[in-house]
Protein backbone atom coordinates (compact mmCIF):
# COMPACT_ATOMS: atom_id res chain seq x y z
CA UNK A 1 0.00 0.00 0.00
CA UNK A 2 1.23 3.49 -0.89
CA UNK A 3 0.39 6.09 1.76
CA UNK A 4 0.67 9.86 1.45
CA UNK A 5 0.32 12.12 4.49
CA UNK A 6 -0.75 15.68 3.66
CA UNK A 7 -0.46 18.61 6.05
CA UNK A 8 -0.41 22.42 5.98
CA UNK A 9 2.56 22.39 8.35
CA UNK A 10 6.05 21.94 6.89
CA UNK A 11 7.65 18.78 8.23
CA UNK A 12 10.73 20.67 9.49
CA UNK A 13 8.65 22.79 11.88
CA UNK A 14 9.22 21.69 15.47
CA UNK A 15 5.97 20.84 17.26
CA UNK A 16 4.10 17.87 18.67
CA UNK A 17 2.11 17.10 15.53
CA UNK A 18 5.16 16.89 13.22
CA UNK A 19 6.95 14.72 15.80
CA UNK A 20 3.93 12.43 15.88
CA UNK A 21 3.75 12.21 12.08
CA UNK A 22 7.41 11.29 11.78
CA UNK A 23 7.05 8.56 14.39
CA UNK A 24 4.07 7.10 12.55
CA UNK A 25 6.04 7.38 9.31
CA UNK A 26 8.94 5.41 10.77
CA UNK A 27 6.62 2.60 11.80
CA UNK A 28 4.93 2.51 8.40
CA UNK A 29 8.30 2.22 6.68
CA UNK A 30 9.38 -0.59 9.04
CA UNK A 31 6.20 -2.47 8.17
CA UNK A 32 7.04 -2.26 4.48
CA UNK A 33 4.59 0.41 3.35
CA UNK A 34 5.53 2.97 0.72
CA UNK A 35 5.19 6.26 2.55
CA UNK A 36 5.75 9.95 1.80
CA UNK A 37 4.79 13.43 3.01
CA UNK A 38 3.33 16.34 1.07
CA UNK A 39 3.53 19.70 2.81
CA UNK A 40 4.71 23.30 2.30
CA UNK A 41 8.21 22.99 0.86
CA UNK A 42 11.47 24.82 1.45
CA UNK A 43 11.06 27.44 -1.27
CA UNK A 44 8.65 29.05 -3.69
CA UNK A 45 8.52 26.20 -6.22
CA UNK A 46 7.40 22.57 -6.29
CA UNK A 47 10.22 20.17 -5.37
CA UNK A 48 11.04 16.77 -3.89
CA UNK A 49 13.62 16.21 -1.15
CA UNK A 50 14.70 13.99 1.73
CA UNK A 51 14.30 15.19 5.32
CA UNK A 52 15.24 13.15 8.40
CA UNK A 53 15.13 9.98 6.30
CA UNK A 54 11.70 10.73 4.83
CA UNK A 55 10.75 11.42 1.24
CA UNK A 56 8.97 14.78 1.13
CA UNK A 57 7.06 16.43 -1.70
CA UNK A 58 7.12 20.17 -1.12
CA UNK A 59 4.63 22.53 -2.70
CA UNK A 60 5.63 26.14 -3.25
CA UNK A 61 5.56 28.05 0.03
CA UNK A 62 6.58 31.23 1.81
CA UNK A 63 7.86 31.87 5.35
CA UNK A 64 5.53 33.35 7.97
CA UNK A 65 6.03 35.86 10.76
CA UNK A 66 3.59 34.00 13.03
CA UNK A 67 6.07 31.27 14.00
CA UNK A 68 9.77 31.10 13.28
CA UNK A 69 10.43 28.24 10.85
CA UNK A 70 6.77 27.82 9.86
CA UNK A 71 5.90 28.04 6.15
CA UNK A 72 2.56 28.38 4.35
CA UNK A 73 1.70 26.91 0.96
CA UNK A 74 1.16 29.49 -1.81
CA UNK A 75 -2.61 29.23 -2.56
CA UNK A 76 -2.68 29.92 -6.31
CA UNK A 77 -0.10 27.23 -7.20
CA UNK A 78 -1.25 24.44 -4.84
CA UNK A 79 -3.59 22.84 -7.34
CA UNK A 80 -0.95 22.55 -10.07
CA UNK A 81 1.70 21.27 -7.63
CA UNK A 82 -0.56 18.64 -6.06
CA UNK A 83 -1.76 17.30 -9.42
CA UNK A 84 1.85 16.67 -10.39
CA UNK A 85 2.59 14.92 -7.09
CA UNK A 86 -0.47 12.64 -7.18
CA UNK A 87 0.06 11.81 -10.84
CA UNK A 88 3.65 10.73 -10.14
CA UNK A 89 3.27 9.05 -6.72
CA UNK A 90 -0.20 7.53 -7.23
CA UNK A 91 -1.00 6.78 -3.56
CA UNK A 92 -3.57 4.20 -2.54
CA UNK A 93 -4.64 6.40 0.33
CA UNK A 94 -4.14 9.98 1.48
CA UNK A 95 -4.19 10.90 5.17
CA UNK A 96 -4.82 14.63 5.69
CA UNK A 97 -3.72 16.15 9.00
CA UNK A 98 -5.30 19.60 8.82
CA UNK A 99 -8.04 21.55 7.06
CA UNK A 100 -6.14 24.39 5.37
CA UNK A 101 -5.56 25.08 1.68
CA UNK A 102 -3.31 22.10 0.97
CA UNK A 103 -5.55 19.29 2.36
CA UNK A 104 -8.71 21.03 1.11
CA UNK A 105 -7.30 21.06 -2.42
CA UNK A 106 -5.95 17.52 -2.28
CA UNK A 107 -9.40 16.18 -1.29
CA UNK A 108 -10.88 17.59 -4.53
CA UNK A 109 -8.12 16.15 -6.70
CA UNK A 110 -8.27 12.77 -4.91
CA UNK A 111 -12.01 12.54 -5.65
CA UNK A 112 -11.32 13.10 -9.35
CA UNK A 113 -8.60 10.42 -9.32
CA UNK A 114 -10.64 7.99 -7.17
CA UNK A 115 -8.07 7.96 -4.33
CA UNK A 116 -9.32 7.24 -0.80
CA UNK A 117 -8.84 9.97 1.82
CA UNK A 118 -8.94 9.77 5.62
CA UNK A 119 -8.46 12.74 7.93
CA UNK A 120 -7.21 13.62 11.40
CA UNK A 121 -7.94 16.93 13.09
CA UNK A 122 -5.26 18.29 15.44
CA UNK A 123 -6.48 21.89 15.31
CA UNK A 124 -8.60 24.09 17.56
CA UNK A 125 -9.27 27.49 15.92
CA UNK A 126 -10.07 29.16 19.25
CA UNK A 127 -6.57 28.56 20.59
CA UNK A 128 -4.68 29.90 17.58
CA UNK A 129 -6.85 32.99 17.12
CA UNK A 130 -6.74 33.76 20.85
CA UNK A 131 -2.94 33.81 20.69
CA UNK A 132 -3.09 36.58 18.06
CA UNK A 133 -4.44 38.95 20.73
CA UNK A 134 -7.05 40.52 18.44
CA UNK A 135 -10.00 42.65 19.59
CA UNK A 136 -12.67 40.40 21.07
CA UNK A 137 -15.27 41.00 18.33
CA UNK A 138 -12.74 40.21 15.59
CA UNK A 139 -11.42 37.13 17.41
CA UNK A 140 -14.98 35.75 17.79
CA UNK A 141 -15.75 36.40 14.13
CA UNK A 142 -12.56 34.72 12.88
CA UNK A 143 -13.07 31.77 15.21
CA UNK A 144 -16.55 31.14 13.77
CA UNK A 145 -15.22 31.46 10.23
CA UNK A 146 -12.41 29.02 10.95
CA UNK A 147 -14.71 26.43 12.54
CA UNK A 148 -17.06 26.74 9.56
CA UNK A 149 -14.18 26.14 7.16
CA UNK A 150 -12.89 23.18 9.19
CA UNK A 151 -16.35 21.59 9.10
CA UNK A 152 -16.65 22.21 5.36
CA UNK A 153 -13.35 20.45 4.61
CA UNK A 154 -13.78 17.44 6.89
CA UNK A 155 -17.39 16.82 5.85
CA UNK A 156 -16.08 15.82 2.43
CA UNK A 157 -14.46 12.66 3.81
CA UNK A 158 -15.99 9.73 5.67
CA UNK A 159 -13.25 8.40 7.93
CA UNK A 160 -12.16 11.04 10.44
CA UNK A 161 -10.09 10.69 13.59
CA UNK A 162 -9.17 12.95 16.50
CA UNK A 163 -6.55 12.26 19.20
CA UNK A 164 -8.77 12.65 22.28
CA UNK A 165 -12.34 12.52 23.56
CA UNK A 166 -12.01 16.25 24.23
CA UNK A 167 -11.24 16.86 20.55
CA UNK A 168 -14.30 14.84 19.51
CA UNK A 169 -16.54 16.85 21.85
CA UNK A 170 -15.17 20.11 20.48
CA UNK A 171 -16.08 19.10 16.94
CA UNK A 172 -19.60 18.17 18.02
CA UNK A 173 -19.96 21.41 19.98
CA UNK A 174 -19.06 23.32 16.84
CA UNK A 175 -21.75 21.70 14.70
CA UNK A 176 -19.75 18.87 13.14
CA UNK A 177 -22.30 16.10 12.64
CA UNK A 178 -20.22 13.22 11.25
CA UNK A 179 -18.99 10.34 13.40
CA UNK A 180 -15.34 10.59 14.41
CA UNK A 181 -12.98 7.98 15.85
CA UNK A 182 -10.71 8.71 18.77
CA UNK A 183 -7.19 7.48 18.00
CA UNK A 184 -4.35 8.80 20.14
CA UNK A 185 -1.30 10.39 18.51
CA UNK A 186 0.60 7.64 20.29
CA UNK A 187 4.03 7.51 21.89
CA UNK A 188 7.09 5.35 21.29
CA UNK A 189 7.14 3.73 24.72
CA UNK A 190 10.43 1.92 24.21
CA UNK A 191 12.28 5.11 23.35
CA UNK A 192 11.34 6.69 26.68
CA UNK A 193 11.25 3.65 28.96
CA UNK A 194 14.47 1.95 27.84
CA UNK A 195 17.54 2.09 30.06
CA UNK A 196 19.70 5.12 29.47
CA UNK A 197 21.40 8.01 31.20
CA UNK A 198 21.09 11.73 30.88
CA UNK A 199 23.95 12.46 33.26
CA UNK A 200 26.04 14.07 30.49
CA UNK A 201 23.37 16.77 30.20
CA UNK A 202 24.28 18.17 33.63
CA UNK A 203 27.65 19.35 32.33
CA UNK A 204 26.47 20.27 28.85
CA UNK A 205 23.79 22.65 30.12
CA UNK A 206 25.32 23.56 33.50
CA UNK A 207 22.45 21.96 35.39
CA UNK A 208 23.27 21.56 39.09
CA UNK A 209 23.33 17.85 40.03
CA UNK A 210 21.75 16.29 43.11
CA UNK A 211 18.69 18.55 43.04
CA UNK A 212 15.12 17.63 42.09
CA UNK A 213 14.41 18.91 38.58
CA UNK A 214 11.11 20.39 37.45
CA UNK A 215 10.89 20.02 33.68
CA UNK A 216 8.92 21.71 30.90
CA UNK A 217 9.21 20.66 27.25
CA UNK A 218 7.45 22.47 24.42
CA UNK A 219 7.29 25.49 22.16
CA UNK A 220 7.89 28.73 24.03
CA UNK A 221 4.81 30.43 22.62
CA UNK A 222 1.94 32.27 24.36
CA UNK A 223 -0.52 29.34 24.58
CA UNK A 224 2.02 27.24 26.52
CA UNK A 225 1.80 29.66 29.49
CA UNK A 226 5.38 29.01 30.61
CA UNK A 227 5.18 32.31 32.51
CA UNK A 228 2.71 30.61 34.88
CA UNK A 229 5.37 27.98 35.63
CA UNK A 230 8.07 30.60 36.17
CA UNK A 231 5.86 32.59 38.56
CA UNK A 232 5.40 29.43 40.64
CA UNK A 233 9.13 28.92 41.15
CA UNK A 234 9.76 31.49 43.93
CA UNK A 235 7.07 29.77 46.01
CA UNK A 236 8.56 26.33 45.39
CA UNK A 237 12.14 27.45 46.05
CA UNK A 238 11.06 28.95 49.35
CA UNK A 239 9.94 25.49 50.50
CA UNK A 240 12.25 23.03 48.75
CA UNK A 241 15.61 23.21 46.97
CA UNK A 242 15.03 22.50 43.28
CA UNK A 243 16.18 23.42 39.79
CA UNK A 244 13.99 23.85 36.73
CA UNK A 245 14.77 23.06 33.10
CA UNK A 246 12.84 24.59 30.20
CA UNK A 247 13.31 22.82 26.86
CA UNK A 248 12.26 24.36 23.56
CA UNK A 249 12.31 27.50 21.46
CA UNK A 250 9.66 29.95 20.36
CA UNK A 251 8.47 33.53 20.10
CA UNK A 252 8.38 33.96 23.87
CA UNK A 253 11.90 32.75 24.65
CA UNK A 254 13.57 36.16 25.05
CA UNK A 255 10.61 37.46 27.06
CA UNK A 256 10.69 34.46 29.41
CA UNK A 257 14.44 34.79 29.93
CA UNK A 258 13.99 38.47 30.73
CA UNK A 259 11.22 37.58 33.18
CA UNK A 260 13.52 35.02 34.82
CA UNK A 261 16.23 37.65 35.32
CA UNK A 262 13.74 40.20 36.66
CA UNK A 263 12.46 37.73 39.26
CA UNK A 264 16.02 36.83 40.32
CA UNK A 265 15.58 33.23 39.19
CA UNK A 266 18.45 32.89 36.71
CA UNK A 267 20.44 30.44 38.85
CA UNK A 268 17.33 28.28 39.32
CA UNK A 269 16.33 27.92 35.65
CA UNK A 270 18.14 26.44 32.65
CA UNK A 271 16.89 27.19 29.14
CA UNK A 272 18.30 24.49 26.86
CA UNK A 273 16.75 25.62 23.59
CA UNK A 274 15.95 22.91 21.03
CA UNK A 275 17.10 19.37 21.89
CA UNK A 276 17.67 16.60 19.31
CA UNK A 277 15.79 13.33 19.81
CA UNK A 278 18.51 11.52 21.78
CA UNK A 279 18.98 14.39 24.22
CA UNK A 280 15.23 14.91 24.49
CA UNK A 281 14.67 11.34 25.69
CA UNK A 282 17.54 11.69 28.16
CA UNK A 283 16.41 15.03 29.63
CA UNK A 284 13.31 13.28 30.97
CA UNK A 285 15.58 10.73 32.68
CA UNK A 286 17.19 13.35 34.93
CA UNK A 287 13.88 15.05 35.79
CA UNK A 288 11.84 14.50 38.95
CA UNK A 289 8.51 15.98 37.85
CA UNK A 290 7.03 17.37 34.63
CA UNK A 291 4.99 20.57 34.41
CA UNK A 292 2.52 21.41 31.63
CA UNK A 293 0.85 24.83 32.09
CA UNK A 294 -0.37 25.15 28.46
CA UNK A 295 -4.16 25.48 28.26
CA UNK A 296 -4.50 24.67 24.54
CA UNK A 297 -3.41 21.03 24.47
CA UNK A 298 -5.56 18.82 22.25
CA UNK A 299 -3.45 15.94 23.59
CA UNK A 300 0.18 16.96 24.44
CA UNK A 301 2.98 14.81 23.05
CA UNK A 302 5.43 16.21 25.62
CA UNK A 303 3.19 15.16 28.51
CA UNK A 304 2.94 11.65 27.07
CA UNK A 305 6.73 11.53 26.73
CA UNK A 306 7.07 12.52 30.38
CA UNK A 307 4.61 9.83 31.45
CA UNK A 308 6.39 7.21 29.32
CA UNK A 309 9.56 8.23 31.19
CA UNK A 310 7.83 7.53 34.50
CA UNK A 311 7.41 11.12 35.66
CA UNK A 312 4.65 12.51 37.87
CA UNK A 313 2.97 15.46 36.14
CA UNK A 314 1.54 18.76 37.33
CA UNK A 315 -0.73 20.04 34.55
CA UNK A 316 -3.37 22.68 34.00
CA UNK A 317 -6.96 21.48 34.27
CA UNK A 318 -7.82 22.45 30.70
CA UNK A 319 -8.55 20.97 27.28
CA UNK A 320 -7.46 17.31 26.97
CA UNK A 321 -4.85 17.19 29.73
CA UNK A 322 -7.25 15.62 32.29
CA UNK A 323 -7.48 12.61 29.95
CA UNK A 324 -3.78 11.98 30.65
CA UNK A 325 -3.40 13.33 34.19
CA UNK A 326 -5.69 11.56 36.62
CA UNK A 327 -5.76 14.00 39.50
CA UNK A 328 -4.16 12.54 42.62
CA UNK A 329 -3.04 9.37 40.80
CA UNK A 330 -0.20 10.13 38.37
CA UNK A 331 0.01 13.81 39.23
CA UNK A 332 -2.13 16.83 39.96
CA UNK A 333 -4.23 19.28 38.00
CA UNK A 334 -4.33 22.99 38.79
CA UNK A 335 -6.66 25.83 37.67
CA UNK A 336 -5.64 27.67 34.53
CA UNK A 337 -3.14 30.44 35.31
CA UNK A 338 -2.94 29.57 39.02
CA UNK A 339 0.79 29.66 39.83
CA UNK A 340 0.20 29.26 43.56
CA UNK A 341 -1.68 25.97 43.19
CA UNK A 342 0.89 24.76 40.64
CA UNK A 343 3.59 25.45 43.23
CA UNK A 344 1.63 23.74 46.00
CA UNK A 345 1.16 20.57 43.93
CA UNK A 346 4.79 20.46 42.80
CA UNK A 347 5.96 20.83 46.42
CA UNK A 348 3.65 17.97 47.48
CA UNK A 349 5.23 15.64 44.90
CA UNK A 350 8.85 16.66 45.36
CA UNK A 351 8.75 16.53 49.16
CA UNK A 352 7.23 13.03 49.38
CA UNK A 353 9.35 10.26 47.81
CA UNK A 354 6.70 7.60 48.39
CA UNK A 355 4.00 9.69 46.69
CA UNK A 356 6.34 10.53 43.82
CA UNK A 357 7.16 6.84 43.29
CA UNK A 358 3.46 5.88 43.30
CA UNK A 359 2.63 8.60 40.77
CA UNK A 360 5.58 7.57 38.62
CA UNK A 361 4.28 4.00 38.45
CA UNK A 362 0.78 5.22 37.65
CA UNK A 363 2.08 7.35 34.76
CA UNK A 364 3.68 4.24 33.28
CA UNK A 365 0.42 2.32 33.62
CA UNK A 366 -1.79 5.01 32.06
CA UNK A 367 0.50 5.65 29.11
CA UNK A 368 0.41 2.00 27.98
CA UNK A 369 -2.89 2.70 26.21
CA UNK A 370 -1.01 5.15 23.96
CA UNK A 371 1.69 2.72 22.79
CA UNK A 372 2.48 3.77 19.22
CA UNK A 373 2.56 0.15 18.02
CA UNK A 374 -1.06 -0.31 19.14
CA UNK A 375 -2.03 3.05 17.67
CA UNK A 376 -0.41 2.17 14.35
CA UNK A 377 -2.50 -1.00 14.22
CA UNK A 378 -5.63 1.15 14.45
CA UNK A 379 -4.46 3.36 11.60
CA UNK A 380 -3.58 0.33 9.47
CA UNK A 381 -7.09 -1.01 9.95
CA UNK A 382 -8.52 2.39 9.03
CA UNK A 383 -6.39 2.58 5.87
CA UNK A 384 -7.38 -0.91 4.68
CA UNK A 385 -11.04 -0.29 5.48
CA UNK A 386 -10.99 2.99 3.55
CA UNK A 387 -9.27 1.51 0.49
CA UNK A 388 -11.64 -1.47 0.27
CA UNK A 389 -14.65 0.86 0.40
Is the CATH code 3.90.960.10 the one for domain 189-369? no
The per-residue pLDDT for 389 is: 65
Whole-angstrom distance, CA of residue 157 vs CA of residue 240: 53
Give the Cβ contact number of residue 52 at 10 Å.
12
2-186+371-388 folds as Rossmann fold (3.40.50)
Q: How much is the mean pLDDT over the chain?
A: 92
Residue 184 has pLDDT above 70, yes or no: yes
**Between β-strands 54-59 and 61-63, what pairing exists: parallel, antiparallel or unpaired?**
unpaired
Give the contacts of 184 (CB within 8 A, at least 6 positions apart). 163, 164, 299, 369, 370, 375
What is the predicted pLDDT for the residue at 321? 98
Say what the pLDDT of residue 131 is. 66
Residues of the chain with CATH 3.40.50.2000: 2-186+371-388, 189-369
CA gap 175, 160 in Å, rounded: 15
**pLDDT band at 139; cut points 50, 70, 90:** confident
User: Which one of 30-39, 127-136, 145-154, 280-289 scores highest in mean pLDDT?
Assistant: 280-289
190-212 residue pLDDT tens? 889 877 889 999 999 999 998 99
44-57: average pLDDT: 90
The pTM assigned to this predicted structure is 0.92
Whether the CB-CB separation of 319 and 297 falls below 8 Å is answered with yes
* pLDDT tens by residue, 93-104: 999 998 889 999
Which of these ranges, 135-144, 170-179, 273-282, 332-341, has the smallest mean pLDDT?
Answer: 135-144
Amino acid sequence: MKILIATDMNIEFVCGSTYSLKRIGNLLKKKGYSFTFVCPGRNYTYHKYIYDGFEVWGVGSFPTIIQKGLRFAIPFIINRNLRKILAEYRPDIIHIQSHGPLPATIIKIAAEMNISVVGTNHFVPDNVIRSLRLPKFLALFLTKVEWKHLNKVFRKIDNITVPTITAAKLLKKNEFSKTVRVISNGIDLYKFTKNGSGNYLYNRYHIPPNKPILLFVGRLDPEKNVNVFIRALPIIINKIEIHSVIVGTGNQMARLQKMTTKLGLSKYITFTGFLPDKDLANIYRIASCFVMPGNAELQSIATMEAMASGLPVVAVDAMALPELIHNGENGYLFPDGDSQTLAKKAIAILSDKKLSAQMSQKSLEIIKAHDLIKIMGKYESLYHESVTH
